[in-house]
Structure 1
Amino acid sequence: MSSSSSSGPAGNAAARVDDAVTVDADDKTVTIPPAAGEVALLMAIQDKLTDAPGVLPVAKVMSFFGEHAAGWMGLAALGAAVDADRRRGWAAVGASAFTSHAASVIIKRVVRRRRPHHPGIRVGVGTPSKLSFPSSHATSTTAALVAMSRMGFGPAPLAGVPAIMLSRLVLGVHYPTDVLAGAALGWTTATITDKILGGAADAAPATSAGEGRTAQ
């Protein structure tokens, strides 16, 4: 199927997914091959969300904050400094983010799955490597938020898990299975870290356990 020069890779989702699309760009003819499977799903998600007001800027901020788990480790350090009653819990947040990120990097180097590279996928940020599986952002963010949910904040932090997963798809740097695997790895790592630290993330402010949880 052929389209005019005004159509581009970000054009009609059905056409981009089902058929090869030929477009003219900078006096060059570029053929976008048909997409299937995860590529088609990723393109459909981008077509629904990327151009929605505020979505792309927020996704980029989340990407910057989560790079190398630095934002979560910084938040954990700040929390430990100002929230002495839950210092062990904040230590668990930092440890969960760090260990889960390290685990994701090791797995990436074993699996060596290439990041999305179909020409119809819009890539919104740069990445430190070309390796995709699992998503380190989804891994460390999930680990940090799970640890936070266990220190008296309740389930509210967990709302950030689907948000970070979607943000990586909107930015075009991961496939859906990358972020799903990352979230599973992060949750598992946070659980193991919590057990190793003796339930540090469940530590409430030092009154009584019941009182501490009620106050929060």
Structure 2
Amino acid sequence: MRYPDSAVARRADHHLLTALRRCGTHPDVAAAARGLSWAGEHGAVWLLAGLAGAGADPARRRAWLRATALVAASHATSMAVKRVVRRPRPDLPGPAPLVRTAGRHSFPSSHAASSAAAAIAFGALLPRGPFPPLAAAICVSRLVVGVHYPTDVAFGALLGGAMARLGRRWALAGVRDD
């Protein structure tokens, strides 16, 4: 299956990606973007956060583990979609991407899928936690390092967010609002 796009979407993707990629030429921004991208690889930061939540909150351990399962399922689903769509990663003129990637395909962003799922699923358990800002930073990092188009990140976030919203009732079964 070919990635469905239009000339307008391609131009918008290219311009926005080029602008954000330029931000990565600053050494501090590049270091932060690399670190965030590394932390989000295979949903690692989110899986660890979910397991830490389960360990720190024995009364809601099952809910934390279910929320973590939603994050993992979002990541796995995005990987399956990526294998079907097979959109190549960006190939921009100028500096090489700041990180290596596990695969050649970019749509949707699995970092964005797991990040959005974590922001919603874990945010329901710890509403004042750091999940939404960290999720947003990881999503933007994929553009700054130059390995995803904005539409890859947007669709990944929509996919992960939708999966977490759909599974939220299951994840929170038995949790009381105190």
TM category, shorter: 0.7 to 0.9
Aligned residues: 169
| Paired residues for 1:40-189 under 5 Å | 40-47=15-22, 49-52=23-26, 54-120=28-94, 122-154=96-128, 157-189=131-163
Q: Greater helix share, 1 or 2?
A: 2
* 1:95/1:193 contact within 8 Å kept: no
Q: Greater strand share, 1 or 2?
A: 1
Secondary structure of the 1:188 match is helix
* 1:89/1:147 contact within 8 Å kept: no
1:155, distance to aligned residue in structure 2 (A): 7.3
* 1:72/1:97 contact within 8 Å kept: yes
Which blocks of at least 5 consecutive residues in structure 2 are unaligned? 1-9
Counterpart amino acid of residue 175 in structure 2: A
* 2:24/2:33 contact within 8 Å kept: no
TM-score of the two chains, using structure 2 as the length reference: 0.85
1:171, distance to aligned residue in structure 2 (A): 0.5
CA distance in 2, matches of 1:63, 1:109: 21
CA distance in 2, matches of 1:122, 1:38: 18
1:203 counterpart = 2:175: yes
Counterpart amino acid of residue 74 in structure 2: S
Q: Percent identity over the alignment?
A: 40
Structure 2 match to 1:27: none
Deviations 1:126-156 (A, max 9, x none): 0010000000001001101111111132475
Greater relative contact order (CA < 8 Å, ≥ 6 in sequence): 2
Q: Which has the larger radius of gyration?
A: 1
* 2:112/2:160 contact within 8 Å kept: yes
Counterpart amino acid of residue 39 in structure 1: H
Secondary structure of the 2:126 match is helix
1:39 counterpart = 2:14: yes
Deviations 1:31-63 (A, max 9, x none): xxxx9432222111222x213462221211111
* 1:43/1:121 contact within 8 Å kept: no
* 2:115/2:136 contact within 8 Å kept: no
Q: What RMSD, in angstroms, separates the aligned Cα atoms of the two structures? A: 2.1
Counterpart amino acid of residue 117 in structure 2: A
